[in-house]
Amino acid sequence: MSWFRRIERGLGRGDKRDMPDGLWRKCDGCGEIVYERVIQRNYWTCSKCGYHFMISSQDYISMITDEDSFVEMDANMRSVDPLGFRDSKRYTDRLRSALKKTGLGEAILTGTCTIGEHEAVIGVLDFKFLGGSMASVVGEKVARAVKRALDEKRFLVLVSSSGGARMQEGILSLMQMAKTSAWLGRLSEEKGLFVSVLTHPTTGGVTASFAMLGDLIIAEPGALIGFAGPRVIEQTINQELPEGFQRAEFLLDHGMVDMVVPRPDMRKTLVGVFDFFGDVDRPCDEKERPAILKTPPHIEVKADRKVDGAAPETPR
Ligand SMILES: [Zn+2]
């Protein structure tokens, strides 16, 4: 059909495909459309290119911890607006809408759990809640998580994804850097083990405090990790930055992180580390996969099926 005839008839909108929300996702890494279930079964990574999708703090916790072992700490702690801050919106309105959007009380979920039967305290920042920014409540929850790990001699895992300190709380948010670092200093004196997991992106005040203080620092592949963003640095020093600058692999090459671990291997790696430090002789294998990630039996997923944009059969 020629273009001219097509213009005459108009482009039309065609029949709208009935495709339920959240069934497919476009990969930001390779641009392929991937079936959501396949992504989820693959630990929220792309089966084609290995791109790591951003996931919620709840999903990260379910991925790492033993099934049903997570008990949330300080669930009712909420931020206030100490400065009466307002930019284009009131801070209180931003908080309210973040709460509504994510169902979370703040940008971090902390709690006790077991990981491969090792007693641990875990804290996971959630980027969807105001960019995972560190407010006073976030800092306090991190501090309490460290204290709990200290008091009960548990391993500590903090998973970061953050834009930095929450500027709406001004100096109070910056003070959290000192507070969390001081508590981690105490944990270190008491020979506690802290594993810091850095996901995309970990920047600003979080990088400049607890995220880089891990006894072991593990990053996810391709994660942006830094203090100021590459554009700001480039403009400041007036020089072109090297390829892959501030990415996990670059930081590994330059000694800033200890390991780059793909998400499907994260739990296994943590269990292996805790086995080593907890003096447990046990091979970590596929059994370590948490039950929540097994494909539900009533849905058939074929990972190798060619995706052509057509809606899949309705799961029965
Ligand atoms: Zn991809």
Of 171-175, 244-248, 261-265, 287-291, the poorest mean pLDDT is in: 287-291
3-state secondary structure of 236: helix
167 and 244 part of one domain? yes
- pLDDT, residue 22, reads 72
47 and 92 part of one domain? no
169 and 113 part of one domain? yes
Q: Report how far ligand 1's centroid is from the alpha carbon of 307 (Å).
A: 13
215-238: per-residue pLDDT in tens? 999 999 999 999 998 889 999 999
59-118: per-residue pLDDT in tens? 999 999 999 999 999 999 999 999 999 999 999 999 999 999 999 999 999 999 999 999
Q: Report how far ligand 1's centroid is from the alpha carbon of 67 (Å).
A: 29
157 and 271 part of one domain? yes
Other CB atoms closer than 10 Å to residue 103's CB: what's the count? 11
Provide φ and ψ at 7, rounded to 5°.
-65, -40
79 and 97 part of one domain? yes
236 and 108 part of one domain? yes
Q: Report how far ligand 1's centroid is from the alpha carbon of 39 (Å).
A: 10
Provide φ and ψ at 104, rounded to 5°.
-100, 150
48 and 146 part of one domain? no
Q: Does the residue 233 lie in any domain?
A: yes
Q: Does the residue 290 lie in any domain?
A: no
165 and 303 part of one domain? no
Q: Report how far ligand 1's centroid is from the alpha carbon of 25 (Å).
A: 10
- pLDDT, residue 205, reads 96
Furthest C-alpha separation in the chain: 78
- pLDDT, residue 9, reads 55
Q: Report how far ligand 1's centroid is from the alpha carbon of 249 (Å).
A: 18
126-157: per-residue pLDDT in tens? 999 999 999 999 999 999 999 999 999 999 99
- pLDDT, residue 5, reads 59
- The domain tally of the chain equals 2
For the cut 90, the answer to whether the pLDDT of residue 6 exceeds it is no
Q: Does the residue 45 lie in any domain?
A: yes
For the cut 90, the answer to whether the pLDDT of residue 302 exceeds it is no
173 and 248 part of one domain? yes
Q: Does the residue 289 lie in any domain?
A: no
Q: Report how far ligand 1's centroid is from the alpha carbon of 17 (Å).
A: 24
Q: Report how far ligand 1's centroid is from the alpha carbon of 238 (Å).
A: 33
For the cut 50, the answer to whether the pLDDT of residue 313 exceeds it is no
- pLDDT, residue 132, reads 97
Provide φ and ψ at 292, rounded to 5°.
-60, -25
CB < 8 Å & 24+ apart, contacts of 13-20: 17/310, 17/311, 18/311, 19/311, 20/311
What is the rounded CA–CA span in Å between residue 307 and residue 301?
A: 12
Which of the four pLDDT bands, split at 50, 70 and 90, describes residue 293? very low
Q: Report how far ligand 1's centroid is from the alpha carbon of 52 (Å).
A: 8
Rounded to the nearest angstrom, the gap between the alpha carbon of residue 216 and the centroid of all alpha carbons in its chain is 17
Which of the four pLDDT bands, split at 50, 70 and 90, describes residue 10? low
- pLDDT, residue 229, reads 87
146-201: per-residue pLDDT in tens? 999 999 999 999 999 999 999 999 999 999 999 999 999 999 999 999 999 999 99
For the cut 70, the answer to whether the pLDDT of residue 4 exceeds it is no
What is the rounded CA–CA span in Å between residue 248 and residue 299?
A: 35
Q: Report how far ligand 1's centroid is from the alpha carbon of 241 (Å).
A: 25
Which of the four pLDDT bands, split at 50, 70 and 90, describes residue 286? very low
49 and 74 part of one domain? no
Mean predicted confidence (pLDDT) in 232-255: 94
Range of the domain at 155: 55-280
Q: Does the residue 2 lie in any domain?
A: no
236 and 246 part of one domain? yes
Q: Report how far ligand 1's centroid is from the alpha carbon of 283 (Å).
A: 31
| CATH number of 123's domain | 3.90.226.10
42 and 106 part of one domain? no
Q: Does the residue 316 lie in any domain?
A: no
Q: Report how far ligand 1's centroid is from the alpha carbon of 287 (Å).
A: 27
Of 125-134, 241-250, 256-265, 273-282, the poorest mean pLDDT is in: 273-282
For the cut 50, the answer to whether the pLDDT of residue 300 exceeds it is no
Q: Does the residue 120 lie in any domain?
A: yes
Q: Does the residue 127 lie in any domain?
A: yes
